[in-house]
Structure 1
């Protein structure tokens, strides 16, 4: 059960980081354009 929670937590962090990178990428695109 603990390992499952850890996996879920790690997955959430990965998703949040991916969203942040995507957001910064979009902002950079807007600035370039």
Structure 2
């Protein structure tokens, strides 16, 4: 996926283009865990 490794504001904008909501939610949660972990 091309959205990996970009900042939060851009990440969420690009995630909105993903049709599969499960992937969107899962990636968002994983991204937040990495930032706060």
Larger Cα-atom Rg = 1
TM-score normalised by length of structure 1: 0.52
- Superposed CA RMSD in Å reads 1.1
4+ runs of 1 displaced by more than 2 Å? none
TM-score normalised by length of structure 2: 0.47
Greater RCO (CA < 8 Å, at least 6 residues apart):
2
* Unaligned ranges ≥5, structure 2: 1-18
Name the one with the larger helix percent.
1
